[in-house]
Structure 1
Amino acid sequence: MSILKRWVVPGVVAVCAVTAITLFSETDKIEADLTKRAQAVLQDKGMDWANISFSGRDGTLTGIEPEKNEASWAIELLDAEWGVRTVSNETEELKTQSPYSWGLVRDDDQVSIIGYLPYRLTRTLPSEMEEKMPGVLVQTQVEAARGAPANIENVVQFTTDLLSSLDNAKAFLLDNTLTITGQLEDGNPADIAKFKAAQEKIAAADLEGISFDFQIPEPKAPEDMVKPVATTVNGLEITRSADGVRIMGLMPSQEIKDTVIDLANRKFGTSVVTEGLDVREGEKIANLGYDDYRRSSVAILQAVSRLEEGSASLTENGLDLTGGAFYGGALEDVMRGLQDALPASVALNTDLRVAAPGETVDAEQCQRLLRSSLETNTILFESGMAAISPDSFGLLDTLIYTARRCTDNRIQIEGHTDSDGDDAANQALSERRAGAVADYLVSAGITADRLEAKGFGEDQPVASNDTPEGKAKNRRIEFVILTQ
């Protein structure tokens, strides 16, 4: 018995240990071989979203499934691979985005891809665009999501081709509406040709189910260019109409003239502003001294910016103001602002009204109107803060007027920042700014349950953050109609 214990039992234990080690070693080899071959099958079919692991001959498929039935197809391929016994599905579905939005933003020698696309397009589009637009820097902030229109690949191909010939343009797809915006130079033969070519491409496009909203203004022919305007106004006259803003009159200094023009650009954005201001250095104009005339000019410009259409005329006889405010609260603000700013010597004569409500529009048209307003102007804030600049009150009044034309729809107010500063701080700032805009709309009578404020920080730029101009474009507020 002692010999058995001393020699036989240890021998059996040793044999068992060697056998176990061999089995474990063989299992590792089997798992490694199956994993390698299975991963090669997935890669060969372009399924780089999928991962496969094995426990013995049993596989587990993981990853984010980009489209319906992709995981089932992957498992079918793997089941056919020699040595595989079973494959279990532990994948997750890619999120579905609604409303579905995607866009291209072309800014000279760079283009940004924004919004959402099917997974495969997020992988292939950047390189395809680099081939289509040689020398143009392609930046992508696009995310993969389900829910795209059925012919999204044709839409993307058409849009890429269109923007390859437009140096400064933006194409934005919202569900089934493709909006094209941008600027072309008046009097420039090349830009006139680009405009005609773009219209021809759109007319020839075969994108079933997609509607176009082409908002690029036709550039004027050289012979139609507006000539400088000479003033005959002995004071200040500001007129706002569907054709733009006209500022005429006299200024007691170049400094005040520059201030008025700068403020006009901030308040009216890229609207057509025609200026015919003559400087009469040191002169008293409309019986007002330097400081009073400056303060009055700024207040009058602010008042007109908050009118749908209107005119203001400041002379030695006082201020005549006519027009329609977008809502009752705006009219009260206009009157209060003028009364606070104008000297007591200036007689205030007003013929103001609240503009008649616009016709009710559907969600698609409402989105186009909101986006059109924000394409030509930007909601401004005090630097680094969520306080809305008074220069943007007129723009917000316009957005409120539009929001009242689609009362059945909810609106998401999106805040965005540039990349300066800390990520977390930018996220918080974007949320506060979106909230401030929502509060402004609520104060004007838009019900709070129609609004959803959301901040995106610096995560969704529409231009490069490498230039001041690009950063300015990225600091923005967007309005998005939410589907019911």
Structure 2
Amino acid sequence: MCRWRSWWKGLPALILLIVAALHFGRAPIEAELTDQTDRLFVAIGESWARASFEGRDALLEGEALSEDARVKVRAELAQMFGVRHVEDRTTLLPERRPFTFSAIRDGTKLRLEGYVPSVYARKRIIEAADKMTPGVVVSGAKELVRARGVPAGDFIGMVAFGLEQLGKMQAGRFTLSDDAFSIEGRAPDFATYDALEVTVRSELPADFKLARFAVLPPAVSPFVWSATREPDGVALDGYIPLGDARRALLDMVRAAVPGAAISDRLRLADGSPPTDGWLKAVSFALAQLGRLPNGKVALSGTTLAIEGTAPDFAAYDALAGARRAVPEGYTLTRFAVEPPTVSPFVWGVQRGGNGIRLTGYAPSEDAKRLLLDAIRAGFPGVPLSDEMRIGAGGPAAEGWVNATVFGVGQLAKLRSGAVRGKDATLSISGEAVDSAAFATVEAALASPLPGGFTLQRDVRPPIVSPYVFSLRKDGEGLTISGFYPDAAAHQSLVEAAKALLLGGAVNDVSALAQGAPSGFSNMAMVALGELARLSAGEARFDDTKLRFTGTALYPAAIESIRANLAAALPKSFSLELALDIAARHDAGDNAMCQKAIDDLLARGSIAFSMSDNGIAAASRGLLDHVAAAAAGCPDAVVQVSVQQGEAAPGVAAARAKAVSDYLAQAGIAPDRIVAGSPPAIAQGQPDAASSEAGLQLIVR
């Protein structure tokens, strides 16, 4: 039986059952609707929006980029199956003008700054940053601010493009401002620099433009640059500083070489000296290049080089002079400009009363400098006139320097003279300072010249005045002093002195010199012969004056000597004679007298004239000393005998008589002289000019 009046007692349990069913059945529906809306927003490109559900009622939230986006999202959500009602709580993002974004890299660090249009854009940008370079740490991604105002076009693609370029540099910055971007930094190498420049100027994402490309090229060291003259123009190679230096440089080239075609192979590079100073150095170098039809100029850092061949001496002189006008801060380290070729290649170093004069050509600047150094060292304080130019076509520089400096060394020993060269021949001429210098120069010139040069010589002894010469005889021998004009005549004089002094010592301290009066050599030989007749004495020449002094061995010798000297004396000469007579000392012992005579005859021989068999002049000294020895034994008889030998009949007798007569004139009493008696006391062998006899005098 139904108890309908009690049904209400089960109503609370039913309500609880319904509430539980509604509660536990709605949660999966809300979750499913949320997932569907998330996928929808991504599919329609509006990921900024988000929706939450209470049952089938949607609450739409988010910051939209535009009102159109809000309408679009709201409409799409309302049409989605299962959604009953949409409550729109979306707002518009703040608008940013300009809409900026930047990425800054410093080694392994990358910082992102600025605005992004959406969470999706932020996510994609972070992904691109993470892929940029392995090991790069990205910061600032969470601080990227969503905003309206994003430029038209592929913003994410543009940012990814910038990050890709930034990945090629160790440090740099990519900046986007609305639809314009800039990139700056330093390329690690020229390949990267070239690739960056080409890429950012030609492969940009659509709707974006390059506002500034400030990527520095690599820094190079040394910073080199060169300009070379070619048949059809000027070729530029190396590096050029940043900025507008290229335009200024090209203007300089056109001014230095008008009308020349310019081949510009220069690369922008960092690391140059200050641009203003660099351009001044380039301007200086190009001015020199304008004088060299086939030349080259180059800069390396702050050093300058110039090379080529000068077309004429005017150009070479201008180039050489420019070496002293190098811009401040720069140094000319190489000057390899060949001068014009000359033929024949001549040069000279002349010494005169006004100093040293250089003429002709030197093979190089260095060679000339070495020559000047040698001249200044050899002639300190002497005025120098430098007219020497640099020329090509001559001997090798080293050989030229060695030979010419050798010549200058000899020139320093000359009072006046010159060193002259012609191709590979060197001539040295002049007058020596003194006799010692002349001897030194003569010895030096006897050896081969350095560098294989042929030597021509005309070095003369010094001219002296007064011209003095002395022959002094004493107990120790003969001393020759003063000057002589001729080496051959002097040698004959020395040899004659050794014979006339009968083996006595000859001390020669004379020297060769010019300035002797005419007839000097012959008169000196005559004076030597008469001096040999004295026990002691001197024949002294003072220019044309002859002073003859000493001690004669017997009285008659004085007049004989006077007469012989006067007969030989040149007309311009004068004679002063001052002779005394040696005191006679009687030996008292005939044996001692005989020994003295034998010693004299052992050291000398008597010569006879072939014309009349008289006593030769060269034998007067010997016979005077024989007479003096014989006079020491006044009681002795002197026998004179000349063995005939192969002489013609009567020659021996005539020669014996000549000796006897000479001894008689020398003061030996005629009654003491016996001629022609045996044994023979002299032997002679006649020849074409004279006959010599070994003479023996026997004293009884």
- Tell me, yes or no, whether TM beats 0.5: no
> Which protein is bigger by CA-based radius of gyration?
2
Q: Which has the higher contact order (CA 8 A, sep 6+)?
A: 1
Q: TM-score, normalised by structure 1?
A: 0.43
Where is the helix percentage greater, Structure 1 or Structure 2?
1
More strand by share: 2
